[in-house]
Structure 1
Amino acid sequence: MSFFYLIAAAFTLAVCLAAHRMGLLLGVVDSPDGIRKTHEVDTPLVGGIASILPFVGSSIFYGSHSGYAPLYFTLAAVAGGSLVLGYVDDRVHVKPLWRLILSAAICVGALYAVPALRIEAFTFSFSSLPVFLYGWATLFTVICLVGLQNAVNMADGRNGLVLGLSLIWVICLLAYAPSHLTPLLVVLGISISIAMPFNLRGRLFLGDSGAYALSTGIGILAVYVYGVKFSVLSADIVALWFLVPILDCLRLMVTRVLAGRSPFNSDRNHLHHILNGVMPWNRALAFYLLLVAVPAGLAYIFPDKALLWAFLTTTIYGVLIFFAARGLTHHCLSAL
């Protein structure tokens, strides 16, 4: 198994070292435009290939040598299919509606291939009574997965952010996952850890391919882990993991619609833009990641207080946005 981890690490490192050449070969090099794309040089969009392909390969390998073949092959298909969809989007810019339809189709296929990937019921840290979804399980699960993909894609606006978030989520999953998922999560964690320094230095970008594949793959894994460990992993803890990017996504979509714009239009009003506007990106990145990691860690240590951690996280986020709207973010961060 250690040898397999080394292969995954070597593959990711090789892609990162040859990122520019691979980007040119695949036709996915992002050029600055001085407006929304403010990076200084042409940058290859191959971070997704570096970070997710070892996971896809591992899923296929373990699926061929275990009793969990349907699950492993479905994980490979979801991550691989999302990677391909994102690659096409990087190349020709798929319209948002078509992207949502195709992403939903990938998720629906996964749920019918492995029914255990459906969210059938909610268990909460503050209640002993489960809430069943019955006939709404498939629709709700697809909405959650596609919504997470959209939220993560919106967060992919600064180097290291989505890879950092993904690494936090992999660690969260490892804390609860059944043993048969551990090798896949370790491979994913290794690949992300190797790709992240290259991304932080601007040597490569994640691209839509990486954002789609990581978000959908991690989302599917979270649903499965919750389904098999619901007795110790409540729904509110899982929601807490993804709370910050989802809050930011919902806020952006609502404010855009209220302004008479498409909810999928890009702007520079994301949380990472707000933070980066008042501090260097290395500090802004650390702040954002801590806003996700600390509540998740507290929920692991004190699971019965998950609702409190969610409330405090939402409050901090809301205070940041309130002060940012009034140009007082410096004062807000000083208070925090």
Structure 2
Amino acid sequence: MILEIDIILSFLWAFMISVFGIPSIVRVAHVKNLLDEPNFRTVHASLTPRLGGLAIFAGFMSAITIFGDVSDSIQRVLAGCIVLFFIGLKDDIVSISVFKKFFVQILATGIIMFIGDVRITSFQGFMGIYELEAGISYGITFLVVVGITNAINLIDGLDGLAGTIITIISVVFGYYFYKSDSVNFHPYAKLAVCLVGGIIGFLRYNMHKAIIFMGDTGSLVCGFLVAVLSIQFIEMHSVESSPSVAVATLVVPVFDTARVFAIRILSGRSPFSPDKNHIHHILMRMGLTQLQTVITLGFVNVISVLVTVYFASVGDNILLMMLVLFFVLSSVTLEMIDRKHRVAQPIQQPQE
């Protein structure tokens, strides 16, 4: 009963801090001219603050420190969040190089891996692999944390999209942490709920038409937290917390990032070169509005989780092969549809 009360209070506190903090942030951003200018990659047409991560961070951090169980591993996670928060804040105010952001991501990842011992230690039988050697464990964990952090950052290109996907992911992982028989994972249920509260408070002002964006302050911190939740979810070592369920829960950011990176590399460009070839860009070129695009991708994410959980007994090998096949076929289909639209008509953004 105490856990349930803490979860409810955590959500309410994070939500209230976020939802009441954003109007002040918006006013100050406009007064100080801390606004994001539209460019060839953005879909918004007006100057908009991109400091929503301040409110998300304030709501999340205050809620977790008041109502959460700040154990050693949680402390290290929060330390990593603080490091990413400041580099993200600097980038939202004065743009910084990709190298500097990547270096800080390495630092934050090192904190949770080597000091907090947050890492993937087993594949649970996927491809016949169970326990991982320490070096392989650290290497895979590094790729997962940095990859997911940047994947969340990359899908933050549409009103409400990143916030909606982060909410879905956090709710799924948080639910399984809450239902876990091991009390060691209950602190992560509270962490997930605190993140959801801060995000939903932010979404109040970020759904189309948004008056504030998440910015790197929010996307880096949220992506980092989602990565940690994903790792701890796999470390529960149950049928429901298999690697295939984790991948299905992360389907939208993982699929989108893998797809755009592959296309850029095959085109002879840097995988980090900006463009308008993300899934949400394609769906909008097909005629969907921003809100319809967000709902569509959110629906795909939820269905992916439900289907994978339902067939979890089939085993990770088959499920992950099915997910990869789904990635490939969907990518090819989207590319073909998008090419037809590009040829048939000039690119236009749908009006609402």
AA of the residue aligned to 1:267: D
What is the Cα deviation at residue 329 of structure 1? Answer: 11
Q: Mark the CA change 1:301 to 1:26 in structure 2 (over 3 Å): closer, same or farther.
A: farther
SS in 1 for 2:274: coil
Matched, 1:192 2:199: yes
What is the Cα deviation at residue 211 of structure 1? Answer: 0.9
Task: For 1:312 and 1:136, locate their aligned partners in 2 and report how far apart those are by CA, in whole Å.
Answer: 26
Q: Mark the CA change 1:171 to 1:317 in structure 2 (over 3 Å): closer, same or farther.
A: farther
Equivalence for 1:103: 105
Work out whether residues 256 and 262 of structure 1, in 8 Å CA contact, stay in contact via their aligned partners in 2: yes
Task: For 2:79 and 2:43, locate their aligned partners in 1 and report how far apart those are by CA, in whole Å.
Answer: 34
State the Cα deviation string for residues 276-316 of structure 1 (Å, max 9, x = none).
Answer: 11122222221112222211122223322443762564233
Identity %: 21
Work out whether residues 272 and 284 of structure 1, in 8 Å CA contact, stay in contact via their aligned partners in 2: yes
Task: For 2:46 and 2:12, locate their aligned partners in 1 and report how far apart those are by CA, in whole Å.
Answer: 32
Task: For 1:214 and 1:26, locate their aligned partners in 2 and report how far apart those are by CA, in whole Å.
Answer: 26
Equivalence for 1:36: 41
Work out whether residues 51 and 212 of structure 2, in 8 Å CA contact, stay in contact via their aligned partners in 1: yes
SS in 2 for 1:123: coil
Equivalence for 1:9: 15
Matched, 1:58 2:59: no
Matched, 1:316 2:330: yes
Q: Mark the CA change 1:257 to 1:301 in structure 2 (over 3 Å): closer, same or farther.
A: closer
State the Cα deviation string for residues 126-149 of structure 1 (Å, max 9, x = none).
Answer: 777625243211121111111112
- Which residue, 169, 175, 183 being the options, matches 2:190? 183
| Count of paired positions | 324
Q: Mark the CA change 1:52 to 1:302 in structure 2 (over 3 Å): closer, same or farther.
A: farther
What is the Cα deviation at residue 80 of structure 1? Answer: 2.3
Task: For 2:157 and 2:259, locate their aligned partners in 1 and report how far apart those are by CA, in whole Å.
Answer: 16
Equivalence for 2:169: 169
Query: More deviation in 159-168 or 310-319?
Result: 310-319
SS in 1 for 2:252: helix
State the Cα deviation string for residues 306-328 of structure 1 (Å, max 9, x = none).
Answer: 43762564233442233323438
Task: For 1:295 and 1:215, locate their aligned partners in 2 and report how far apart those are by CA, in whole Å.
Answer: 20
Work out whether residues 92 and 217 of structure 2, in 8 Å CA contact, stay in contact via their aligned partners in 1: yes
Q: Mark the CA change 1:83 to 1:257 in structure 2 (over 3 Å): closer, same or farther.
A: same
AA of the residue aligned to 1:8: A
AA of the residue aligned to 2:333: V
SS in 2 for 1:157: coil
AA of the residue aligned to 2:171: I
Task: For 1:86 and 1:150, locate their aligned partners in 2 and report how far apart those are by CA, in whole Å.
Answer: 12
Equivalence for 1:334: none
Work out whether residues 248 and 305 of structure 2, in 8 Å CA contact, stay in contact via their aligned partners in 1: yes
What is the Cα deviation at residue 77 of structure 1? Answer: 1.5
Task: For 1:38 and 1:327, locate their aligned partners in 2 and report how far apart those are by CA, in whole Å.
Answer: 18
Q: Mark the CA change 1:6 to 1:250 in structure 2 (over 3 Å): closer, same or farther.
A: closer
TM-score (norm 1): 0.86
Equivalence for 1:80: 82
Equivalence for 1:23: 29
State the Cα deviation string for residues 233-280 of structure 1 (Å, max 9, x = none).
Answer: 111211222233223222322332343433212111111100011122
AA of the residue aligned to 1:295: S
Work out whether residues 62 and 69 of structure 1, in 8 Å CA contact, stay in contact via their aligned partners in 2: no
Tell me, which stretches of 5 or more residues in structure 2 are unaligned? 1-5, 178-184, 345-352
Q: Mark the CA change 1:327 to 1:136 in structure 2 (over 3 Å): closer, same or farther.
A: same
Q: What is the RMSD computed on CA atoms of the aligned residues?
A: 2.6
Tell me, which stretches of 5 or more residues in structure 1 are unaligned? 331-336
AA of the residue aligned to 2:320: L
Task: For 2:150 and 2:343, locate their aligned partners in 1 and report how far apart those are by CA, in whole Å.
Answer: 26
Equivalence for 1:265: 273
SS in 2 for 1:130: coil
TM-score (norm 2): 0.83
State the Cα deviation string for residues 138-183 of structure 1 (Å, max 9, x = none).
Answer: 1211111111122221111111111011011011102211333322
Query: More deviation in 222-231 or 212-221?
Result: 222-231
Query: More deviation in 88-97 or 105-114?
Result: 88-97
Task: For 1:316 and 1:255, locate their aligned partners in 2 and report how far apart those are by CA, in whole Å.
Answer: 13
Task: For 1:261 and 1:182, locate their aligned partners in 2 and report how far apart those are by CA, in whole Å.
Answer: 40
Equivalence for 1:333: none
Work out whether residues 51 and 195 of structure 1, in 8 Å CA contact, stay in contact via their aligned partners in 2: yes
AA of the residue aligned to 2:222: L
Q: Mark the CA change 1:69 to 1:99 in structure 2 (over 3 Å): closer, same or farther.
A: same
Equivalence for 1:118: 119
Work out whether residues 45 and 204 of structure 1, in 8 Å CA contact, stay in contact via their aligned partners in 2: yes
Q: Mark the CA change 1:10 to 1:88 in structure 2 (over 3 Å): closer, same or farther.
A: same
AA of the residue aligned to 1:170: S
Work out whether residues 55 and 76 of structure 1, in 8 Å CA contact, stay in contact via their aligned partners in 2: no
